[in-house]
Amino acid sequence: MVDITARQRLKLLAGAAALMSSACGGSSTSAPPTPIGVIPPTTPPPTSPTGFTLSEGLLRDSFRNNFSVGTAITANQINAGDLSATLAQSQFNVITPEYELKPDQIAPTEGEYNFGPADRIVDWALSNNMTVRGHALVWHEATPAYFYEGTNAQIRTRLENYITAVMEHFAGRITVWDVVNEVTSVDIYRGNDGVGPDRDTEWFNAVGNADYIDWAFNAARAAAPGAQLFLSDYETENPFKMNWTMEIVRRLLERGVPIDGVGHQFHLQLNTPASGALAAIDAVSNEFAGLINHVTELDVSFYQDPGTCWQSGTNCSPDLGPMAPPEMLATQASLLRELFLGLVTRPSVESVNVWGVRDNDSWLNFAPTQRTNFPLLFDRAGDAKPALRAITDQNYVI
């Protein structure tokens, strides 16, 4: 949910994280990676100051009859003793590598693949009985410029080769992929008479239309016929944007392009109504029988900024400081309880993934500007926040 300026900042962060992860993880062409720390099964469950005990598997088991529950992590976090890794292993059953599967991490140079950091996360997740969401094969961010060079035939072949190489490398290990990420127009505030449904991106401009989406899904199905293929986008909780996402999905299905589901990032704010998010899920399942819904990047920011903050870093809401205001924690808990109560009644929802483990892990501490944010289910100390308690215990008084 960020504009280009904020994205540019994120790219820098992604680059830094990649450097850190390659420093501790290695690549397929360098020395063998440092052995991955095994989290001791005897680690005592964290007990919060209020006496709440986070039992092993509480979060994932609370939804075991409904959907899997995942989180995002980076390769440099999966070391023995890392608190976020420990919590991920204890509470979640799906992992999304936060950066390591993006094109600029996998193939910074055309035809040369660096699977080391992604392999490290994937193997760690599998060895901890978690599955992996592959994120993302096609995105207009974190993508080297060479992808956009040449004729349409050259662009298409290069894209198909990339998708085939990546999916074949992870064959049997990753069976769910965000094939395209954020392809819906962001010009949503003009209503339905804007420029949608296709987003004006480097991919769209290089090809001259949105055919690259079809190419990507067709190549993905051919490379891994059994994998679940997703289109994932942000702000689908906004009905204007969701209408355009629906138009793209409708178009794909009409053309026989293989798509299995829609991913809803759900980067929410404290004042986002849960009803909008649930309506997006319903839109998919009501119109497209058989399509799956995933929540792919859930978080709830404590800041409500004007557009100028995202566009140019100006007029951003002031930093709340290191302590989360209790009334905001309560609002976050209420919103997430309402959302999860709605999600469990919707059988098309097969996986719900939050974008990070502890509040300090979140990208929202840096975007759209550097501030302390509190968007996730665990606080900086690793204690379960009111939101986690509210979604796992209906008797918990918010």
Among 234, 244, 266, 288, binds ligand GLA (CB under 6 A): 234
Q: Which of 325, 246, 314, 316 is nearest to 279 (CA)?
A: 246
Least spacing, CB of residue 181 vs ligand GLA, in Å: 5
Judged by beta carbon, residue 316 or residue 344, the one nearer ligand GLA is: 316
Interface with ligand GLA includes 6 (CB under 6 A)?
no
Least spacing, CB of residue 211 vs ligand GLA, in Å: 22
* Residue 52 near residue 335, CB atoms below 8 Å: no
Range 324-383, binding ligand GLA (CB under 6 A): 363
Judged by beta carbon, residue 182 or residue 390, the one nearer ligand GLA is: 182
* Residue 85 near residue 121, CB atoms below 8 Å: no
Least spacing, CB of residue 208 vs ligand GLA, in Å: 24
75 φ/ψ angles, rounded to the nearest 5 degrees: -60, -30
Catalytic residue among 98, 182, 235, 237: 182
Q: How far is CA 325 from CA 49, 165, 274, 391, in A?
A: 17, 47, 21, 20
Interface with ligand GLA includes 301 (CB under 6 A)?
no
Burial class of residue 194 in the structure, from the number of CB atoms within 10 Å of its CB (0-12 exposed, 13-18 middle, 19+ buried): middle
Judged by beta carbon, residue 119 or residue 178, the one nearer ligand GLA is: 178
Q: How far is CA 152 from CA 205, 267, 363, in A?
A: 11, 33, 34
Rounded Cα–Cα distance for residues 378 and 131 (Å): 21
Least spacing, CB of residue 135 vs ligand GLA, in Å: 6
Judged by beta carbon, residue 62 or residue 105, the one nearer ligand GLA is: 105
Among 84, 181, 301, 332, binds ligand GLA (CB under 6 A): 181
* Contacts with ligand GLA, 118-157, as mask; x by CB under 6 A: -----------------x----------------------
Which amino acid, 171?
A
Please enumerate in sequence order all residues whose Cβ is within 8 A of that of 202, keeping only pairs 6 or more positions apart, or say none.
Answer: 140, 143, 148
**Residue 56 bears catalytic tag:** no
Judged by beta carbon, residue 147 or residue 234, the one nearer ligand GLA is: 234
* Contacts with ligand GLA, 84-123, as mask; x by CB under 6 A: ----------------------------------------
- Reading the block at residue 100, the tokens are 């390591």
Catalytic residue among 98, 235, 237, 297: 297
Interface with ligand GLA includes 10 (CB under 6 A)?
yes
Interface with ligand GLA includes 233 (CB under 6 A)?
no
Determine the residue with CB nearest ligand GLA.
363
Q: How far is CA 172 from CA 14, 47, 125, in A?
A: 27, 37, 13
Range 35-54, binding ligand GLA (CB under 6 A): none
Interface with ligand GLA includes 265 (CB under 6 A)?
yes
Rounded Cα–Cα distance for residues 355 and 363 (Å): 9
Peptide bond into 23 cis (omega under 30): no
**Residue 182 bears catalytic tag:** yes
Which amino acid, 8?
Q
Interface with ligand GLA includes 297 (CB under 6 A)?
yes
C-alpha count within 13 angstroms, C-beta hemisphere, residue 142? 26
Least spacing, CB of residue 104 vs ligand GLA, in Å: 11
Least spacing, CB of residue 233 vs ligand GLA, in Å: 9
Judged by beta carbon, residue 39 or residue 75, the one nearer ligand GLA is: 75
- Reading the block at residue 318, the tokens are 């002031």
Burial class of residue 146 in the structure, from the number of CB atoms within 10 Å of its CB (0-12 exposed, 13-18 middle, 19+ buried): middle
Q: Using CB under 6 A, count the residues that bind ligand GLA.
A: 7
Active-site annotation, residues: 182, 297
Q: Which parts of this chain interact with ligand GLA (CB under 6 A)?
A: 10, 135, 181, 234, 265, 297, 363
